[in-house]
Structure 1
Amino acid sequence: MFNSWGLVNAYGTWSSYYVGHSLRGTDQLELNLIGSTQSFIVLLLSNVVGRLLDAGHSRKVIGCGTFLVPFGLFMLSVAHPSDIEALGNFGSIWATQGLVVGLGMGTFFVSSSQVASTWFPKRRGLAVGYVACGASVAGVIYPSMLRYLIQSVGFNNAVRYVATLTSVTCIYSFIFCTPDPAHEHHEPKSWGKLRTWFDTEAFKNKAWCWFTAAVAFMFFGFYPVFFNLEEWASVRGFGTRDRTGSPVSPSDTTDKPLQTFWLLVIMNGASTVGRMLLAHFSDKVGALNMHIGSQFTASMLTLVLWTLAGSETDAIAFCVVFGVFSGMVIGLPPASIGNILNCTYATPDTRHFAKKKLGHWTGMMYTFAAIPALTGPVIAGHLITEYNTYITVQMWSGTNLMLSCICMIISRWYLPCDNGEHAKEAIIRRLSKAETSEKRRDSDPTSSPDPLSQAPTRVPSPRASSDNVSDAGQMV
């Protein structure tokens, strides 16, 4: 996760530098295309990687990424102009950072969550949550590291330092990221068959289909927030980009003390908290249930809090709160797929299918979300350029996140409960039972007696009666 979505989360800082220096004057649509290409490739390869992992080829898959990610970054440092005032070539930057690095990142994403799931089958949500923290930690380290190194040693050398860090972490993953030896692998009889890559049983599962649609809408609106956050803050006057590559000194002062990259760092740091929360609570309340709640909250924060932010304090508040819920939103899909599989194959005879199909179904889900991941930030960039306002990207992101939440609710509606009964069937049965009980109570006169008729009566004793007569006589 550190070298897959972690680099995507940090792309806002790269984009901010390109806007002010080597790609100044470039349309925001094209700038977002670099980051969205990385997201697209990561998701597009998810199905292939998931199937290879199910077949037991984790070492080969991770080895490819260990080479490609550092190689792409080193090539970026060569292709990028060394002169701070020179204009760079968009095609070469896209090819190295978007394409080559993206191909390497695609091998790490499913591998990280899938390998962790094999070691902790009963606490899958906890394992995936901790693994997902790697992306948010990288989202803190990479922007900070890149920004300060650019100011001290220049962009190209800064990229080489980042490439060195990715090399170390990739080699560490290659050595230690291995699945549980007891995990059952399934080598297909033929790699050329369509069924090898697409499990048709998934398309018959309505819960999976609706959740896949939810993830597609999520990627339409999720990363435009991260890619455009720094530029939004700069345009609104809530922060400032570095205007030069000069080193930072104590005497360096500015009218706008907050540098915009700190907003991205804060958001990614808060995302770590959200991923930790999902790690501890998703297994208890249900991954899909938790996903629905966090998705709804993230959409409302985007539609309301982000659009109404009118000061630097408001911007920081949005980054903190949205960051917490964004960590849950982006980290829960693999655990939610595991939730769907566990409920679908809940009997002792079919329970082994849940483990067998996890990587395959997760990969298929992300593959279908690849096109939205590519086009979502690009559409957002075009809206900014066309209408010259960031309210467009705020509405675009918030609306898509809300549509994602609605699709998740429908998925939960079709999801079987622990006893095999679907949620919609359980709700209908309980409503019918309550209605029948109400009708039975209304039609039975003895079922709801008059409270006055049930009041206790007291028969007076003969002595009490004579006393009452005597008192009456005296009064006369």
Structure 2
Amino acid sequence: MADAVLTPVKDESIEAPQDVTPIVSGPDGHGDSTGEKGSISFPEGGLTAWLTVLGGSMVLFCTIGAVQSFGVYQDYYTRVSLDEHPPSDVSWIGALQVCLLFTMGLPAGKLFDEGYFHVLLALGSLIYLVSLFMLSLAKPHHYYQNILAQGVGMGIGMGLIFLPSLSIASHYFRRKRSLAIGFVIAGSSIGGVIFPILQNHLFYSSAGFPWGVRAAGFICLFLLGSANLLMKTRLPTRKQRGPNNIQPDVAAIMRDVPYLVCVAGFITVFYLQLYAVLHGVPSNIANYALSILNSAALFGRTLPNFAGDIYGPFNVAIPMTFIAGGLIFALFGATSTGGMVVFALLYGFFSGGFISLIAPIAASFATNLGEVGVRIGILCFFVGFAVLTGNPIAGALLRPPHYSWYRPILFAAIVVLFGSFLLFISRAMVARKKGIQRL
């Protein structure tokens, strides 16, 4: 570490904003956790940093965790409260929610970089919680009420708090960035375990749908309130740092975004429980299919990120994505209890890996600390349109009442495998440009 301080080398990954001394880097090209006087340094730990990570994990518990439990709502709507609508119509509720969660990342990322982190967190939490409790008041067979509360309202609220909570870890960590972001994203897996169990139990009990939603609402009220108190910004705002003339290279971001991966990434999550029920898997297993998947994803969103800090996030994400795509073909044979459990465990781990590494990969392209939010925001913006179209396409391919599962399975598998190929091409381009293999 002493050599790193004595021999400053211009870093190729992230430069300091204008009027700020560049980050001190070692010979390996990675910023040291301690910079010289006047430089931007990364604590790589400390109480405030880890409390901020904890708060971010709470936010993702309530946002991505809730999104990943939409399979419970999909199953309930399709079979009970919106049974007059085909699955493709029902899936638009979840697709719109996910679309807004990601597309709101573009304005949220810009405002985050301008220093409005706490405003975004407070406003988004309020919109999300009000919409969630309004969903509990939605009447059966009133499709518009569900799509307004769950699709639009919750989607906008999620979008305002998701990206800032994911990006803030990049201000505290650099060498451990993938691991820190992995811990933040791990909250989504915990939410994806707890929400399906809780709501499957309450939706079909005497409590019913209204109190099942309210129970989730009270959990989110506590967690989001705590997150607003725990999370702290660290770096000065862009105005305090002076003008910054470095603009994001939109063309480069578009080349390196795993766009098609995200089209299919949520398809299996949305339809896993319904697939299990219609193939005769016992209800006590089918009801927990999403929880099993997200339990495995908890490890898939932390262990690969640890490896990503050692070998490079690109080098870990590519095989994880390829294996996840290949595993989707296993759904053709996963019609028994054992098959469904094994698939959920394996797919949960490997899909969790490539999802959790998307943010570190996007952040690694930032040439300036002040554009990390914008870079990830642009990524999320285009991902939002991908997931908006992906799940309704899969729902239309399902073709009830006979449910032709081979069509959406093939669609999901081929798109994810093609996405892994695009990641490989993107990595090759970056490696050629930078002349390094640890990416």
Q: Does TM, scored on the shorter chain, surpass 0.5? A: yes
**SS of residue paired to 2:61:** coil
1:365 equivalent to 2:418? Answer no
- CA distance in structure 2 between the partners assigned to 1:116 and 1:335 by the alignment: 10
Measure the CA separation in 1 of the matches of 2:365 and 2:119.
29
Does 2:412 correspond to 1:397? yes
**Distance in 2, Cα, partners of 1:339 & 1:302:** 29
Letter in 2 for 1:202: D
SS in 1 for 2:409: helix
CA shift for structure 1 position 366: 1.2
Residues in 1 aligned to 2:354 and 2:337: alpha-carbon distance in whole angstroms: 25
CA–CA distance in 2 between the matches of 1:12 and 1:310? 18
Q: CA RMSD in A?
A: 2.3
**CA displacement 1:156-175 (0-9 Å, x = unmatched):** 12211111111111111111
How has the CA–CA distance of structure 1 residues 330 and 121 changed in structure 2, closer, same or farther, with 3 Å as cutoff?
Answer: same
Q: Distance in 1 between matches of 2:261 and 2:165?
A: 21
Distance 2:436 2:310 in 1: 19
Q: CA deviation at 1:388?
A: 3.1
- In structure 1, the gaps of 5 or more residues are 81-86, 190-194, 241-257, 346-352, 427-476
CA contact (8 A) 1:184 1:356 kept: no
Q: Distance in 2 between matches of 1:295 and 1:202?
A: 25
State the Cα distance separating 1:324 from its structure 2 match.
0.4
Aligned to 1:331: 356
Q: Who wins on radius of gyration, i.e. which is larger?
A: 1
Q: How big is the shift at 1:223?
A: 0.9
Aligned to 1:186: 238
Contact 1:221–1:377 (CA under 8 A) maintained in structure 2: yes
Task: Find the counterpart in structure 2 of residue 280 from structure 1.
Answer: 306
Within 5 A, what are the aligned runs for 1:59-458?
Answer: 59-80=118-139, 87-150=140-203, 151-180=205-234, 183-187=235-239, 201-205=248-252, 208-212=253-257, 214=258, 216-240=259-283, 258-303=284-329, 305-341=330-366, 345=367, 353=368, 355-385=369-399, 388-416=403-431, 420-421=434-435
Q: 1:25 to 1:131 in 2, by over 3 A?
A: same
Runs of 4+ in 1 over 6 A off after TM superposition: none
How far did 1:404 drift? Answer: 0.9
**For the residues of structure 1 that align with 2:240 and 2:380, how far apart are their CA atoms?**
21
Task: Give, in angstroms, the shift of residue 416 of structure 1.
Answer: 4.0
Question: Aligned partners of 1:124 and 1:78: how far apart in 2?
Answer: 41
| 3-state SS of 1:21 partner | helix
Q: Displacement, 1:11?
A: 0.4
Q: Distance in 1 between matches of 2:251 and 2:417?
A: 25
Q: Which residue of 1 aligns with 2:22?
A: none
SS at match of 1:78: coil
Q: Output one character per residue of 1:290-320: Cα deviation in whole Å (capped at 9) or x when no partner.
A: 11111001000012x1222242111110000
Counterparts of 1:141 and 1:239, CA distance in 2:
20
Shift of 1:88: 2.1
8 A contact 2:297–2:349 mirrored in 1: yes
- Cα distance in 1 between the residues matched to 2:199 and 2:152: 20
Question: 1:374 offset after TM fit, Å?
Answer: 0.4
Q: Is the partner of 1:237 in helix, strand or coil?
A: coil
Determine the C-alpha separation between the residues in 1 that align with 2:185 and 2:374: 19
Q: Deviations over 1:40-68 (max 9, x none)?
A: 00111111111111111000000112101
Q: What corresponds to 2:6 in structure 1?
A: none
* Deviation at residue 188 of structure 1 after TM alignment: 10
Show the counterpart of 1:454.
none
Question: Are 1:52 and 2:111 matched, yes or no?
Answer: yes
Return the alpha-carbon distance in structure 2 between the equivalents of residues 371 and 188 of structure 1.
34
Alpha-carbon deviations, 1:327-356, whole Å to 9, x = none?
Answer: 112111110123334xxx5xxxxxxx2x22
Letter aligned with residue 223 of structure 1: F
Q: Which runs of 5 or more structure 2 residues have no equivalent in the other structure?
A: 1-59
Shift of 1:152: 4.0
How many matched pairs? 377
Letter in 2 for 1:69: Y
**SS state at 1:122 partner:** coil
Provide the C-alpha distance between the structure 1 equivalents of 2:408 and 2:113, rounded to a whole number of angstroms. 38
Residue 247 of structure 1 aligns with which residue? none
Q: Distance in 2 between matches of 1:233 and 1:287?
A: 33
State the TM-score, normalized to the length of structure 2.
Answer: 0.81
